[in-house]
Structure 1
Amino acid sequence: MRVLTLPFLAMIASLVPLLTPEAEALPANAPAIAQSSEDSFSSNGFIMPSKNIYCVIYGDRLRCEIVSQLNPMPPQPASCNLDWGNGLSLLKVGKPFVTCAGDTVFSPNYKTLAYGKSWSKGGFICKSRTNGLTCTNPRGNGFFLNREEWKVF
């Protein structure tokens, strides 16, 4: 086993400040350069006033989840060995499909989409109503979702 000498340790200690970046204050009027991924993710989604349905857009996909699960629950295909029946996904082209996923898109930072209001981003449009949520893609395909039923079109 080698024993490090005191001069060697002193040299290493003198290099530590060079390896540790120091934060610099930005001018008060400086624009933000980047946001954390949580902020970016949260700004791309919303939650319904009931807190039962929430959606997010990422890439070319809109994914909406429902806490109470789809009703009626569709049969789980053999090709899905993850969570099934927690929501629907919609691409920019094509019909929606039941999501098979081992994760969630929930964020506590989503803004509430009030009943009677619409949300649009990336070509997707979602309309919040007291009887449920309707979302469409740029081609007019979409879905309706509430705790009693769901439909794709």
Structure 2
Amino acid sequence: MKTLIALCIFAAATGARADGYGFRTPSGNIYCNGSLAGGAQGSSDISCSIVERGGPPAWPDPGNCPGVWGHHFDLGSTGPARVVCGPAPRKSTYTDVAPYGETGNFGDITCQSEKTGLTCRNRSGNGFFLSRRSQRVF
């Protein structure tokens, strides 16, 4: 996660271009991709996927998802988190790992990795919690 924090500091200092990042939880069951846009009008976003999950999906299946439902989550700088349709996720091979107990700031989004799961929240207070046992959007 320290690598990710350093990346965010670097990205914030580089101006108006967008920079991307990716990380996984220690189990490899949750992985995230995001981007940071610099400058005064900058924003950030993150997309996280959970490979193995249990319980009901955070949102009901809309019935028109040609992929898998309940495994992919998107969050922007402001506004609500979303559950999105996507391909079947596979275990991540990302080398950047968010150790349990660490918090990373990605522009307007903060993610905290805990043994109980991953929580990401934006500056509006919206976000999601992902764990093998349950997934929530708030």
The TM-score, its normalising length taken from structure 1, stands at: 0.63
One-letter amino acid of the structure 1 residue matched with residue 52 of structure 2: S
Which residue of structure 2 lines up, in the alignment, with residue 51 of structure 1?
28
Change (3 A) 1:108 1:57: same
One-letter amino acid of the structure 2 residue matched with residue 46 of structure 1: F
Structure (1/2) with the larger strand percentage: 2
Which structure has the greater CA radius of gyration? Answer: 1
Is the CA contact 2:51–2:89 (under 8 Å) kept in the aligned structure 1?
no
CA distance in 1, matches of 2:88, 2:35: 14
Report the count of equivalent residues.
112
CA distance in 2, matches of 1:96, 1:105: 22
Structure 1 ranges of 4+ moved more than 6 A: none
The TM-score, its normalising length taken from structure 2, stands at: 0.69
Change (3 A) 1:45 1:67: same
Which of 37, 47, 55 aligns to 1:63? It is 47
Identity of aligned residues (%): 37
Choose between structure 1 and 2 for higher RCO, CA contacts under 8 A separated by at least 6 residues: 2
Deviation at 1:95, TM superposition (A): 1.2
Which of 89, 98, 118 aligns to 1:133? It is 118
Is the CA contact 2:103–2:113 (under 8 Å) kept in the aligned structure 1?
yes
Q: Deviations over 1:27-69 (max 9, x none)?
A: xxxxxxxxxxxxx75xx01100111111111364311100103
